[in-house]
Amino acid sequence: MLSTQIKLTNQSEHQKAWDLLPWYINRSLGPVEHAIVKNHIRTCITCRIELNLQERLFKKIQQTDLLQQVSHASFAQLKKRIETHPEVSISNKCTVSNKDLIFFPFQLQFLGFVKYTALAASLLLLAAPFMLNSWVIQPEMEGAYRTLANSSESTDNTNNIVRIVFADQPDSEQIEVIVNSVSGHIIKGPSPNGVYEVQIGNHQTDTQQVNDAIFRLRDHASVIFAELAQGLSVSE
């Protein structure tokens, strides 16, 4: 039976075996189909060459590290983006001409790409850094929160509260120094995302002073983000 099959090798059998080669290689064929391919490749040099090639390909593919592939694909996308904006040269790329970067309201000069990626992730969470605990606490304190004294105080407070993210996690002493340098004090933080809430001066501090403080903070090499808390979240 088998020997007659071998002798009857014809175009359609070749086609069938040829088509089945990938599944012969991945060992998923049932016994019947497996035998068809196995017998056919004994006599068909074309299929043997193809089998050899696909096997090498299969091995190579199996050895490819997924993470490496992910990084190549990600980089290819980045490359595409850069190449389609050729007018943005290396020297002026930090002037944020790319639409996607406008989202970040501060300068990126001293950020490498790695830092940038990690930063982007933490910034996504920045808009509501304390959301979780305020969300949990709020129902309980709702009654007290609505007293006149509390509500007016909280409105005043948000005008001079700044949210800050520090680069490379400086120690608490360094943070203290930076915060003191703009007459601020930490009122909350760090959140799980490394966000600090800092009050600048006292309730009499005016907008100009707070803005000055924000600019000075942004100039500081250890500060990667400084922004008025008020615009970012209304939950606190």
Partner 1 sequence: MEVPDLKMMQKPFSSQEQQAKERHLISEAAAGNGKAFEQLYQLYFNRLYQFIFRINRHHDCIEEIINDVMYVVWEKAATYDQTCRPSTWILGIAYLKSLKSAKKNTKREDESVEFNDELDYFPDRGARWVSQVEDSNWLEAALEKLSAEQRAVVEMTYFQGLHYSEISEIMQCPENTVKTRMFHARKILAKFFLELNSRS
Query: By the criterion CB under 8 A, which residues form the site for partner 1?
Result: 19-20, 22-23, 25-30, 53-54, 56-64, 66, 68-70, 72-74, 76-77, 79-81, 83-84
Question: Which CB atom, from 35 or from 57, has the smaller least distance to partner 1?
Answer: 57
**Amino acid type, 85:** H
- DSSP for 8-72, written as a single string: T--HHHHHHHHHHHHHHHTT---HHHHHHHHHHHHH-HHHHHHHHHHHHHHHHHHHS-HHHHHHH
Minimum CB separation of residue 41 from Zn ion in Å reads 7
Range 20-28 contact pairs with CB under 8 angstroms and sequence separation of 24 or more: 21/47, 21/50, 21/51, 21/54, 22/54, 22/58, 24/51, 25/51, 25/54, 25/55, 25/58, 26/58
Q: Which option in Zn ion, partner 1, none does residue 80 bind, with CB closer than 5 to 8 A by kind? A: partner 1
Structure tokens at 81: 């983006």
CB of 88 to partner 1, least distance (A): 13
Restricting to residues 46-105, which ones interact with Zn ion according to CB under 5 A? 46-47
Which partner, Zn ion, partner 1, none, binds residue 22 by CB below 5 to 8 Å per kind? partner 1
Considering CB distances under 5 to 8 angstroms, the limit depending on partner class, which of partner 1, Zn ion, none binds residue 26?
partner 1
Provide, rounded to whole angstroms, the least separation between the CB of residue 44 and Zn ion. Answer: 3
In whole angstroms, how close is the CB of 78 to Zn ion at the nearest point? 44
Binding site for Zn ion (CB under 5 A): 14, 44, 46-47
